């Protein structure tokens, strides 16, 4: 603990060094969980979204079902099914997977990843469908193959259309991650709940953590605004 | 039919609790949304300031944290109040701040903020000429609102309202965390006791799925009805 913090907190019963460190640990867990699930979810979502736009019902159908189920049920239920369900899979306790999924972090990561992948798939699909037909025709006229068209024309322009909705999804995910605390994970909310029960001080414990979440949210809003400005820089007025 | 090990009636009761919770929260959210949107458009600096800080605050904080704050904090507040009343008047009372009330208040407050934004956009979509015409006909402010603004803004508010309702429905699952015996709670207890997580959570997931699916159909029907007089441009 830095010296000045100790001085600042002297005469305070709740926010002593150890509690601050507990919140810090929670912050690290929350950020890891949200960041990893968003990255993995995005990686999953791009191919899924492309497949979802396919006209073949055998490709399109299963993806539709996946996004429909994951968007139509609460994340809490998904988390419970994965967290409690994994231990029940026959024979898993004898394999190396058990070493991974025994900790609460990985089932939570899996649930969050699948959930955000479902929402992101639909966001990207919407953006892909909205590609102006002329752009695709022009790409075809230039003799671009399907893969090249996707990579050079459709996906970049879809990314610009999707970024606004995706920023909402990211903030939604940050807020949803609070439920990780119900499966014994000590994330930010988990730390706040521990501190609440130790001191019986609901206002101090929860308002403090609410402020941290708020700071994280506004940081994300700011970062996404910058990203949006960057992606849409060609639309800026010349002397604007 | 799957065997629910005798938890069937409890799950059904839980489902009813979930639906009650969702509808009560929706009513509160709609009321708060209308008030919030009116405040944002009122032009009074104080009202705009309060409404803006309300929506900003709500959008920055996770719903679960808010719920925990209201549930645990609400009890402490009530206890302090009853202590103060006892000290002042010698009248002793105890009020249990139960999870259902905290759930309705929290979810209502959170979605009130989202509804505020939805209604604000919808109010702005009503042509100002319509309002001017109503005023010229001598309509009172209340009459203008009820006869002219409300019917026209509803059409613009419906898509956003529908989305908010779908998210609200799924948020009700969180109230099981603060101890409300809704269907999620019953399923969790049953799953732990019987060591059969899939057996109990998957039916609950299906109930949520059918609720959202029915809502989707209903909202689509409402949308169609609200847009009856509108000729859509190509």
**Would you say residue A239 lies in a domain?**
no
Contacts of B63 in chain A (CB under 8 A): 175, 178
pLDDT band at B200 (very low <50, low <70, confident <90, very high): confident
**Would you say residue A198 lies in a domain?**
yes
A193 contacts B170? CB cut-off 8 A:
no
At A10 the pLDDT is: 64
| Residue in A80, A176, A179 closest to B188 by CB | A80
Distances in Å between the alpha carbon of A79 and those of A65, A210, B72, B198, B211?
Answer: 18, 23, 24, 12, 19
Out of A32-36, A92-96, A123-127, B162-166, pick the least confident: A92-96
**Would you say residue A189 lies in a domain?**
yes
Angle between helices B8-41 and B183-194 (to 10 degrees): 140
At A80 the pLDDT is: 92
At B234 the pLDDT is: 46
Q: Does the pLDDT value for residue A182 go beyond 80?
A: yes
Burial class (CB in 10 A: 0-12, 13-18, 19+), A145: exposed
Mean per-residue pLDDT, B187-199: 85
B191 contacts A189? CB cut-off 8 A:
no
| Residue in A77, A178, A206 closest to B205 by CB | A77
**Would you say residue A193 lies in a domain?**
yes
Indicate whether this complex's ipTM tops 0.90: no
Interface test with B, best of A71, A76, A220 (most B CBs within 10 A): A76
Q: Which residues contact B220 (CB under 8 A, 6 or more apart)?
A: none
Per-residue pLDDT of A4-50, as tens digits, reads: 666 666 666 777 778 888 889 999 999 999 999 999 999 999 999 99
Number of domains in chain A: 1
Query: What does the DSSP assignment read for A36-81?
Result: HHHHHHHHHHHHHHHHHT-S-HHHHHHHHHHHHHHHHS-HHHHHHH
Q: What percent of chain A has pLDDT over 70?
A: 94
At A9 the pLDDT is: 63
Residue A179 sits at the chain B interface (C-beta within 8 Å): yes
Per-residue pLDDT of A43-85, as tens digits, reads: 999 999 999 998 899 999 999 999 999 999 999 999 999 988 8
Residue A62 sits at the chain B interface (C-beta within 8 Å): no
| Residue in B60, B63, B173 closest to A218 by CB | B60
Mean per-residue pLDDT, B123-142: 88
Q: Which domains does chain B show, CATH number per domain?
A: 22-181 (1.10.3720.10)
B208 contacts A72? CB cut-off 8 A:
yes
Contact B182, B21 (CB under 8 A): yes
At A44 the pLDDT is: 95
Q: Does the pLDDT value for residue A204 go beyond 60?
A: yes
At A7 the pLDDT is: 65
At A216 the pLDDT is: 94
With tokens 């529908």, the residue in question is: B162
Torsional sign, CA A220, A224, A225, A230: positive
Q: Does the pLDDT value for residue B201 go beyond 50?
A: yes
Contact B97, B71 (CB under 8 A): yes
Average per-residue pLDDT for chain B: 87
Per-residue pLDDT of A87-121, as tens digits, reads: 777 777 777 777 777 788 899 999 999 999 999 99
Task: Round to whole Å and give the CA distance between B180 and B166.
Answer: 20
Mean per-residue pLDDT, B216-220: 92
| Residue in A74, A177, A202 closest to B73 by CB | A202
Task: Round to whole Å and give the CA distance between A24 and A19.
Answer: 9
B174 contacts A179? CB cut-off 8 A:
yes
Task: Round to whole Å and give the CA distance between A85 and A79.
Answer: 9
pLDDT band at B2 (very low <50, low <70, confident <90, very high): low
Per-residue pLDDT of B90-101, as tens digits, reads: 787 777 778 888
**CATH value at residue A220:** 1.10.3720.10
Q: Does the pLDDT value for residue A183 go beyond 70?
A: yes
Compute how many other C-beta atoms are within 10 angstroms of the C-beta atom of residue B134. Answer: 18
**Would you say residue A238 lies in a domain?**
no
- Domain encompassing residue A40: 3-233
At A175 the pLDDT is: 93
Q: What percent of chain B has pLDDT over 90?
A: 41
Interface test with B, best of A175, A189, A217, A221 (most B CBs within 10 A): A175
């Amino acid at each position: 603990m830095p010296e000045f913090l100790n001085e600042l907190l002297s005469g305070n019963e709740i926010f002593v060094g150890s509690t601050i460190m507990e919140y810090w640990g929670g912050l690290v867990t929350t950020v890891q969980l949200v960041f990893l699930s968003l990255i993995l979810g995005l990686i999953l979502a791009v191919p899924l979204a492309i497949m979802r736009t396919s006209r073949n019902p055998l490709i399109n159908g299963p993806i539709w079902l996946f996004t429909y189920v994951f968007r139509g049920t609460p994340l809490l239920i998904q988390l419970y099914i994965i967290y409690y369900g994994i231990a029940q899979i026959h024979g898993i306790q004898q394999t190396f997977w058990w070493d991974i999924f025994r900790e609460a972090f990985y089932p939570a990561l899996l649930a969050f990843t699948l959930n955000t992948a479902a929402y992101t798939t639909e966001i990207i699909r919407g953006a892909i469908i909205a590609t102006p037909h002329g752009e695709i025709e022009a790409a075809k006229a230039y003799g671009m193959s399907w893969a090249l068209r996707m990579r050079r024309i459709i996906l970049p322009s879809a990314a610009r259309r999707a970024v606004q909705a995706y920023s909402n999804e990211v903030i939604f995910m940050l807020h949803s991650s609070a439920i990780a605390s119900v499966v014994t994970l000590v994330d930010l909310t988990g730390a706040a709940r521990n501190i609440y029960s130790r001191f019986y001080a609901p206002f101090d414990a929860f308002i403090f953590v609410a402020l941290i979440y708020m700071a994280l949210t506004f940081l994300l809003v700011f970062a996404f605004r910058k990203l949006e400005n960057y992606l849409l820089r060609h639309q800026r007025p010349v002397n604007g | 039919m799957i065997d629910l090990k005798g938890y069937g009636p409890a799950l059904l009761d839980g489902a009813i609790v979930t639906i009650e919770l969702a509808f009560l929260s929706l009513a509160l959210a709609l009321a708060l949304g209308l008030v919030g949107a009116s405040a944002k458009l009122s032009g009074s600096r104080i009202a705009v300031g309060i409404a803006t800080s309300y929506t900003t605050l709500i959008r920055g904080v996770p719903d679960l944290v808010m719920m925990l704050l209201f549930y645990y904090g609400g009890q402490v507040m009530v206890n302090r109040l009853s202590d103060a009343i006892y000290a002042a008047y010698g009248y002793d009372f105890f009020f249990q701040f139960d999870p259902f009330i905290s759930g309705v208040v929290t979810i209502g407050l959170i979605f009130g903020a989202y509804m505020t934004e939805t209604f604000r956009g919808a109010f702005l979509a009503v042509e100002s000429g319509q309002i001017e015409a109503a005023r010229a006909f001598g309509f009172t402010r209340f009459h203008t609102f009820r006869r002219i603004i409300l019917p026209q803004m509803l059409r613009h508010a419906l898509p956003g309202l529908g989305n908010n309702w779908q998210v609200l429905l799924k948020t009700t699952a969180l109230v099981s965390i603060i101890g409300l015996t809704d269907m999620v709670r019953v399923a969790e207890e049953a799953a732990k006791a019987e060591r059969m997580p899939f057996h109990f959570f998957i039916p609950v997931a299906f109930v949520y799925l059918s609720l959202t699916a029915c809502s989707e159909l209903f909202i689509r029907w409402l949308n169609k009805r609200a847009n009856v007089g509108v000729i859509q441009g190509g």
